[in-house]
Amino acid sequence: MRIGILGAGQLGRMLTLDGMRLGHEFSLYDPAGKASAGVGTIYNDPDGQHLATFLNETDVVTYEFEHLPLDLVNRIATEKPVHPVPRALQCCQNRTLEKALFRDLGINTAPFEVVESAEALQAATQRLGGRVVAKSATDGYDGKGQAVLDTPEQAPQAWPRLGCDTAIAESFVPFRRELSIVAARGQDGEMAFYPLAENIHHQGILRFSIAPAPHVTPELEDQAQRMIRTLMNELGYVGVLALEMFETEEGLVANEMAPRVHNSGHWSQNGAVTSQFENHIRAVSGLPLGETAALQPTCMINLIGETGPVAEILRLPYTHLHLYGKAGRSGRKVGHINILADSLEELRWRAMNTASLLPECPEFDWRP
Ligand code: AMP
């Protein structure tokens, strides 16, 4: 099958690498003209001149990036099958729609209000009570997009920092840890769920994922699977979906979803029977889904800014290195390392040791 991917970054690269093993052919289309994937047939097309050619050589279209122009994706959907369904993209591009979808489906999420001015933010913060996180409804930029308010009086200073016309004000969730679930749904409605991952962020960027997350009770796993199953069924979803959640004393609170393969699922390349990338391609090409069970406790470490000492990393007998072929730049994801171990304690030591080799990597300060 000839598969077209909208977006051509590292996710497109890894989808292509896994999908080629299934005999598929890949074309990657980047409407922003910033392709870095380095595999498949690449269309860097900021002027839209090559869209017809790209579509001519694809049987099915998917995407690896949620900030695509929605009208472009809707137009493509009139000509070719697009998976996941464009409505998923639309919801993920706008927190107002996303939170409303969670609420309407009975998916537990932080109490929130939609606000369109500093005054409205102040009033919403007053009503929500306690600490509030304000987030721009659509993508923030240049460090804008989010602010934490301890009191309603902070609204006039916080509002301009969001850099938007519409925002969500939501209650701050006192979470124990951040978890995510990645799942796949096939064209026949078959579903497969990966074990939950525990995610550690630093300066707003995911640094470490540990999977399967330890101390996940069957009830917690069940709650996560119910939430993502509800979302996928409602949307008629085909492909891989990720849901980021907070774990609290009272169970899980959904934060946001991503309609694509997800950084917190990269561990599955080495740590699961079938990677999230292969399962996404299986789903969009109408094939049966692969087994999602974990092989061993796994830790994924993102390489941010630069690749670090590649030879030293590779010398460690337990590392699997994945580089994206991208130039180093501050804050940019340029690769990741998957580490496997026989036990969580061994995993902890291996991850600590690996992290200590990496420039600008925070200490791996985690205990099972
Ligand atoms: P988001 O852009 O929604 O993924 O948020 C980025 C990060 O901000 C999350 O990974 C959390 O660490 C933190 N965060 C977001 N929303 C909340 C919230 N309601 N309560 C506490 N922390 C939050």
Q: What is the pTM of this model?
A: 0.97
User: How far is Cα 307 from Cα 326, in angstroms, rounded to an integer?
Assistant: 9
Mean per-residue pLDDT, 14-32: 98
Atom of ligand 1 nearest to the CA of 199: 10
- The predicted-structure confidence for 159-177, as pLDDT tens digits, reads as follows 999 988 999 999 999 999 9
What is the greatest pairwise CA distance in the chain?
59
All domains of the chain in start order, with CATH: 2-82 (3.40.50.20), 111-171 (3.30.1490.20), 177-355 (3.30.470.20)
Mean per-residue pLDDT, 127-145: 83
- The predicted-structure confidence for 177-235, as pLDDT tens digits, reads as follows 999 999 999 999 999 999 999 999 998 899 999 999 999 999 999 999 999 999 999 99
Mean per-residue pLDDT, 278-296: 98
Mean per-residue pLDDT, 136-156: 84
Contacts of 56 (CB under 8 A, 6+ apart): none
User: What integer pLDDT is reported at residue 44 of this predicted model?
Assistant: 97
| Residue pointed to by tokens 């609170």 | 253
User: What rounded mean pLDDT belongs to the chain?
Assistant: 96
Q: Is 279 annotated as a binding residue?
A: no
Q: Is 95 annotated as a binding residue?
A: yes
Tabulate helix, strand, coil % of the chain (nearest 5): 30, 30, 40
For the cut 70, the answer to whether the pLDDT of residue 347 exceeds it is: yes
Please provide the size of the chain in residues.
368
Residue type, 251: G
User: What integer pLDDT is reported at residue 139 of this predicted model?
Assistant: 76
For the cut 70, the answer to whether the pLDDT of residue 142 exceeds it is: no
- The predicted-structure confidence for 47-65, as pLDDT tens digits, reads as follows 999 999 999 999 999 999 9
Residues within 6 Å of ligand 1 by CB: 110, 133, 135, 170, 172-173, 178, 201, 244, 255-256
How many CA atoms within 13 Å lie on the side-chain side of 18?
23
Spacing, Cα 74 to ligand 1 middle (Å): 30
User: What integer pLDDT is reported at residue 277 of this predicted model?
Assistant: 98
For the cut 90, the answer to whether the pLDDT of residue 3 exceeds it is: yes
Cis-peptide, bond into residue 69, ω within 30° of zero: no
Spacing, Cα 67 to ligand 1 middle (Å): 19
Mutate which of 96, 125, 133 for ligand 1 pocket (most atoms within 8 A of beta carbon) = 133
User: How far is Cα 250 from Cα 247, in angstroms, rounded to an integer?
Assistant: 8
Cis-peptide, bond into residue 212, ω within 30° of zero: yes
**Strand (E) or helix (H) holding 268:** helix 268-271
User: How far is Cα 31 from Cα 12, in angstroms, rounded to an integer?
Assistant: 14
Cis-peptide, bond into residue 309, ω within 30° of zero: no
User: What integer pLDDT is reported at residue 26 of this predicted model?
Assistant: 98
User: How far is Cα 201 from Cα 362, in angstroms, rounded to an integer?
Assistant: 10
Mean per-residue pLDDT, 248-270: 97
Spacing, Cα 247 to ligand 1 middle (Å): 12
Atom of ligand 1 nearest to the CA of 170: 19
Spacing, Cα 172 to ligand 1 middle (Å): 8
User: What integer pLDDT is reported at residue 152 of this predicted model?
Assistant: 98
Collapsing DSSP states into helix, strand and coil, what is residue 326?
coil
Q: Is residue 175 a contact partner of residue 199, using CB atoms and an 8 Å limit?
A: no
Nearest to 243 by CA among 228, 229, 263, 253: 228
Residue type, 275: S
